[in-house]
């Protein structure tokens, strides 16, 4: 009898191992709205496409807006999941009753136009540039010309990570041009040979060049190992304990296919913290 039970247990475990995580959506229907951090969009969009292709009775919308928007939307019941590129503040958890789910590690990279010869700076140089003390590329080994600074909007998790890890409470220069997403930042830098800005490492590609800080090269491998220090977690947040379609979506992000989507998007997957 014990042998039979053992065999049955092995068969059940084997079946679970080969079960398709999309099966969780087989009997579900309805709409799930997701909003917030723009670094999350590639992961959320691909997962949504997988799920809606599997079950056309499900509709999932994915929008950006930044971490502050994610908190407000989910907190006010306008979205089922609000994404943030920073941990929730105690006041946000208390005000809205939010639950948080870290699912990936991302780094924030300083970036310039690919034709810019400056590919490495010290932390002190970065601070002086963003505080307005250094304003010309020639002062950091580049070609003469004004440094056109770009930054993210107030409430952006990317901005908060960048400033917290480098400036602390230091003041940013009023000359910083504000853009509202990682995509807009990439476009601005790619079109401006004198630009300097910052993006999630997963957004680095041939159109912009990452800049090493104190010799630490911005890459996801270095972010995961701790070699690169301007790092953050990416979070999904819900109002109260997630249920139904929302819970199934979160579980899918933590599944093996979800991990592959996260890696393909340039991030490092994290296990679910029960």
CA separation for the pair 184, 159 (Å, rounded): 14
Q: How confident is the model at residue 115 (pLDDT cuts 50, 70, 90)?
A: very high
Overall average pLDDT of the 17-45 stretch:
92
Q: List beta partners, residue 146.
A: 136
Q: Which domains does the chain have, with CATH numbers?
A: 22-106+233-269 (3.40.190.10), 107-231 (3.40.190.10)
Residue range 65-99, pLDDT digits in tens: 989 999 999 999 999 999 999 999 999 999 999 99
CA 243 to chain centroid, in Å, comes to: 23
CA-to-CA separations, 215 to 129, 165, 210, 229, in angstroms, rounded: 17, 16, 12, 11
What is the token pair recorded at 52?
């809606």
CA dihedral 178, 154, 87, 39 (to 10 degrees): -30
Residue 101: per-residue pLDDT: 98
C-alpha torsion sign, points 32, 66, 63, 256: negative
pLDDT tens across 252-269, in order? 999 999 999 999 988 899
**Residue 250 contacts by C-beta under 8 Å, 6 or more apart in sequence?**
81, 101, 236, 238, 242
Per-residue pLDDT at 4 exceeds 50: no
d(CA 65, CA 58): 23
Rounded to an integer, the average pLDDT of 217-229 is 90
Q: Return the higher-pLDDT residue of 258 and 2.
A: 258
Q: What mean pLDDT, rounded, does the chain reach? A: 91
Distance CA 200, CA 267 (A): 9
Average pLDDT over every residue of 214-222: 93
Could you give the residue ranges of the DSSP H alpha helices within the chain? 2-18, 41-54, 67-75, 90-96, 123-131, 157-166, 182-190, 220-225, 244-254, 256-264
């Amino acid at each position: 009898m014990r042998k039979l039970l053992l065999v049955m247990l092995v068969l059940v475990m084997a079946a679970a191992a080969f079960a398709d995580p999309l099966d969780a959506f087989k009997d579900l229907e309805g709409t799930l709205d997701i909003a917030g951090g723009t670094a999350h969009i590639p992961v959320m969009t691909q997962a949504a496409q997988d799920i809606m292709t599997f079950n056309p009775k499900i509709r999932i919308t994915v929008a950006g807006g930044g971490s502050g928007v994610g908190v407000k939307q989910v907190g006010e019941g306008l979205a089922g999941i609000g994404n943030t590129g920073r941990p929730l503040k105690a006041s946000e958890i208390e005000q809205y009753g939010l639950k948080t789910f870290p699912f990936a590690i991302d780094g924030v990279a300083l970036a310039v136009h690919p034709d810019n010869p400056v590919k490495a700076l010290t932390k002190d140089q970065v601070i002086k540039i963003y505080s307005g003390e250094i304003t010309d590329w020639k002062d950091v080994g580049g070609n003469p010309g004004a440094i056109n600074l770009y930054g993210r909007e107030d409430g952006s998790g990317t901005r908060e990570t960048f400033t917290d890890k480098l400036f602390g409470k230091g003041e940013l220069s009023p000359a910083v041009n504000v853009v509202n997403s990682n995509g807009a930042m990439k476009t601005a830098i790619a079109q401006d040979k004198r630009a300097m800005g910052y993006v999630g490492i997963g957004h680095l590609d041939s159109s912009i060049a990452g800049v090493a800080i104190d010799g630490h090269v911005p890459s996801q491998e270095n972010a995961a190992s701790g070699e690169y220090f301007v790092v953050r977690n990416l979070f999904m947040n819900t109002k109260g304990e997630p249920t139904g379609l929302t819970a199934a979506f979160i579980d899918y992000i933590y599944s093996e296919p979800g991990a592959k989507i996260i890696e393909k998007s340039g991030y490092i997957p994290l296990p679910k913290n029960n």
